[in-house]
Chains A and B, each alone.
Chain A
Amino acid sequence: MFKRWLHREGKEWVREGIITKEQLTRILARNPGPDRRMSWLPILAGILIGLGILSFIASNWEGIPPFLRLLILIGGMTGFYAAGEQCTRQGFPHTGAVLTGLGVVTFGGGMVLVGQMYHLVAFDVRLFILWGTAALISTFLYRHPVLFYLTFVILSAAQWYSTEEFRTFSYGTAMLFFAGLGWEAHRSEHRLHRWFVAAGVVHQSLLWVIGSEEEALWLFPFLMVLYTAGDWWHSRGWRRPLQTVSISAAFLMTLVVYYNPPGESGTFPSLPASLPYLTLTAGFLALSLRAKHRWGRLRESDSWLLFLPFFYLTADGPQWLHQAVYLVVLYAASVGVLLRGSRRGSRFEANWGILLFLVTTVNAYFNLAWDFMPKSLFFLLGGLLLFALNRFLQHRKNTRFSKGGDGR
Chain B
Amino acid sequence: MNRTRWLTILVLCQVLVLLGTAASYFAVNWWGTEIRLKTEPVDPRDPLYGDYVTLHYKISDVSPDHWKREEPPENTPVHVLLTPKEGYWQVKSVHLNRPDPGKNEVVLKARASRGRSMGRGTSSPEKTLHLEYGLERYYVPEGTGRQFERARAPLTVRVKVAPWGQARIVDVEKKQRNREEPSGWNLTLTGQGASFTELFQSYQRGEQVLIPALMEMVAVPNGPRAQSADPTSSGTKIYG
Contacts and interface: CB of A to CB of B under 8 A. Distances in A.
A100 to B, nearest CB: 9
Interface string B1-34: 0011011001101110111011011000000000
B142 to A, nearest CB: 5
B168 A134 contact: no
A225 to B, nearest CB: 29
A120 B142 contact: no
Interface string A88-106: 0000000000000001000
B166 interface: yes
A107 interface: yes
Interface residues of A, number: 32
B4 A118 contact: no
Interface stretch (B96-104, B133-141, B210-218, B231-239): B133-141
Q: Which 10 A-B pairs have the closest CB atoms?
A: A121-B134, A118-B25, A62-B141, A119-B168, A167-B75, A114-B21, A107-B14, A119-B169, A81-B11, A137-B10
Given A107-B14, A123-B77, 14 more contacts: A74-B15, A77-B14, A78-B11, A85-B7, A115-B21, A117-B139, A118-B22, A118-B168, A119-B139, A121-B134, A121-B168, A138-B10, A141-B6, A166-B111
Contacts of B139: 116-117, 119
Contacts of A166: 75, 77, 111
Nearest to B15: A74
Interface in A108-147: 110-111, 114-123, 130, 134, 137-138, 141
B22 A134 contact: no
B34 to A, nearest CB: 14
A74 B18 contact: yes
B134 A123 contact: yes
B135 A121 contact: yes
B167 A121 contact: yes
Given A77-B14, A134-B14, A167-B75, A120 B7 contact: no
Interface in B155-208: 166-169
A117 B141 CA distance: 10
B109 interface: yes
Contact of B10 (A62, A123, A134): A134
Given A115-B21, A118-B25, A141 B15 contact: no
A168 B77 CA distance: 10
B70 interface: no
A144 B14 CA distance: 20
A120 B168 contact: yes
Given A81-B11, A85-B7, A70 B18 contact: yes
B230 interface: no
B15 A120 contact: no
Given A119-B168, A121-B167, A70 B22 contact: yes
Given A62-B141, A121-B135, A123-B134, A111 B109 contact: no
A70 B19 contact: yes
Interface in B71-105: 74-77
A144 to B, nearest CB: 12
